[in-house]
A and B are shown apart, each in its own frame.
Chain A
Amino acid sequence: MKMRSSAILSELVDRWLTKVATLIAVYVTFRGHNAPGGGFAGGLLLGAAFVLQFLAGDEPSIRRRPIRNPEMLLGVGLLAAFGTTLAPLIAGGSPLESYIWKLDVPVIGEVKFVSSTLFDLGVFAVVVAVVLMILRALGTEGAGVSAHRGRAASRDQGGAPR
């Protein structure tokens, strides 16, 4: 009985909430340049969606989600953030300096791209990755953080859920 209700819940959350939350998260992230929002808030929104999914379903539902390797996501996010800090140095600016490019795209019109967007996307990825890692560490039974290589390897191959 319990299994069944959990399956329905998980499906509902999966079908509706996650997708809507993802959309809102992306919107909030990009909106954040000139208005309240940004990578941190967006990341938390998407993270909250993952938490909801985790609560509705059971542990494997996170594992088969697109991001199976949060460490990688964390690394990529950090690299994007630190990269945008470092890159202006190469261009002769000061660290973290932001550049604006304006492009004329046919149909859409003028598109403004600010280099600090990359920093924000990095923050977004870091926040999502941290939420996933917390879920994996605290939410899986008897597993804990995969602190040791042997265990981490077996887990990455998708060991049977306990």
Chain B
Amino acid sequence: MTSLVVLPVLIPLCAAAVMLILRSPMWQRVLSFVALLSSLAVAIAVLVEVWTDDEILVTRLGGWPGSFAISMVADRLAAVLVVVALGVTSTVLIFAIGQRSRDEQSPFYHPVYMVMTAGIVQAFLAGDLFNLFVAFEILLMASYVLLTLEGTREQIRSGTTYVVLNVIESLVLVVAVGLIFGATGTVNFAELPARLAELPDGVRNGLQLLLLVAFGIKAAVFPLFFWLPDSYPTAPSSASAVFAGLLTKVGVYCLIRVQTLLFPGEMRGLVLVVGALTMLVGVIGAISQQDMKRILSFHIVSQIGYMVFGLGIGGTAAIAATIFYLIHHIPVKTSLFLVEGIIERDSGSSSLASVSGLARRSPMLAMLFLVPALSLAGLPPLSGFLAKFAIVRAGLDDGHYVVVTVALVVSLLTLVSMVKIWVGAFWGEPSNDRDISQANILLASPSMSVATGMMVALSIAIAIGAGPLYEFAGDAARQVLDVGGYVVGVRGS
């Protein structure tokens, strides 16, 4: 039973290997679906197991004992994120196949997509720091390829920035892992809390800062976010949807682990300030943009700020809010990028200046945009409102009035920039261009619309099921904060 944990990583990898042998487009697509859906089924089984039994599932590779083995650990937080990640990658796959973009036509698209999925899943399940580093490398390598697969001049240019920045991030991370191993003699998450606690304060702070910088680059927090709004908009829509939805969230997940497991509650002040600045700078960047993809990319940064803010508050309520925020944010952000992909396919551009009147042409598409956009801004009764409400309340309870004010202002500014997209792209007269204005945007590629609809439906479902989901987030937060329980749970199984 415990070996189940390794399957969501291995199935996509095996599928990638088979796809390199069978390079027919048809087989690759079928295999992609089979692999992702079977991984999703296993992940759901793991989640159910972890949820009902309050148990931590551990797989030790090679059957080695204790901390000698590379271990894969699924606790509540990891298990739920794996399910969400696989759900999102499966949905985006439907979109990508429907889009028939140039990158999807490449014989390398599907294998690389599988490898990236495996990397994301492994990052969530990693039970030691080095394994986590390897997971990051896997998903980064795959994301380099996906970002530049179409090979346009713009993609290569921004791809270079992306690669260089992420290599620096990897370097910082591997140095941190090396130093931590040197100082404590282990990289295992179950061993580290006790060993790190024995170190002198200066060493601890240094190590924590290194980890925060490494994961901060990945999560795109202020002031390390500048690579994101530059590179994501150039990626093909399907790739940028996964990047936007999942890659930065992997960074946030690691920040949660650093702040709760390795260095519980330390440097909260710094994290809090970084969170506030990330929110503010991200949204100001978004307001100044004129291109849908770029606006949405800046919003990733700003939304990350909320999660970092929750992390900075600390305590069960705030961590629960952060986890809820994380879960809600993934489908919302993904669906916004998918809607943008539909628009871009229709009008050949994501610039607000060249698109208009979409609401009149396709009210359905307008709805698909409006629901996640308002959710992102935090309007009730959508999931974004609940997530923001939870974080703001945790902040008020803890007396962080300044940052709460920032969060509320940012929420308003988010709405402003969403209105900007709405006014630019959806209002106004449809372009009186020949038969374009007659064509039905959503029916032009049904699978793209269905995939987007599924993502939006998921975000609505999160709002409807917010009660139980919030309770679950609370349970997950309690488990994440209970370092002793984690250590016993991992060692015991």
Contact = CB atoms under 8 A, between A and B. Distances in A.
B13 interface: yes
Interface in A129-152: 144-149, 152
B108 A147 contact: yes
A82 B14 contact: yes
A146 B59 CA distance: 39
A98 B107 CA distance: 33
Contacts of B10: 82, 85-86, 95
B45 interface: no
A158 interface: no
B444 interface: no
Given A96-B62, A147-B149, A86 B14 contact: yes
Interface in A69-112: 71-72, 74-79, 82-83, 85-86, 88-89, 93-98
Interface in B459-473: none
A74 B22 CA distance: 12
Interface residues of A, number: 27
Interface in A22-79: 71-72, 74-79
Interface in B4-40: 6, 10, 13-14, 16-21, 23, 25
A24 B61 CA distance: 31
B3 A78 contact: no
Contacts of A145: 108
A66 to B, nearest CB: 17
Contacts of A147: 106, 108, 149, 151
Chain B at the A interface: mostly helix, strand, loop or mixed? Answer: helix
Given A71-B23, A75-B21, A148-B106, A82 B62 contact: no
B21 A149 contact: no
A75 B23 CA distance: 10
Contacts of A74: 17, 20
Contact of B18 (A77, A79, A95, A148): A79
B106 A94 contact: no
Contacts, number: 71
Contacts of B16: 78
Given A85-B10, A89-B3, A94 B61 contact: yes
Q: Residue among A82, A83, A85 with the most chain B CB within 10 A?
A: A82
Nearest to B2: A94
Contact of B63 (A82, A85, A94, A146): A94
B157 interface: no
Nearest to A77: B17
B5 to A, nearest CB: 9
Nearest to A97: B63
B41 to A, nearest CB: 16
A49 to B, nearest CB: 23
B440 interface: no
Nearest to A152: B107
B18 A93 contact: no
A155 to B, nearest CB: 12
Contact of B20 (A71, A94, A98): A71
Interface of A: 71-72, 74-79, 82-83, 85-86, 88-89, 93-98, 144-149, 152
Given A76-B17, A97-B62, 11 more contacts: A75-B21, A78-B20, A85-B10, A89-B6, A94-B61, A95-B3, A95-B10, A95-B61, A96-B63, A148-B106, A152-B107
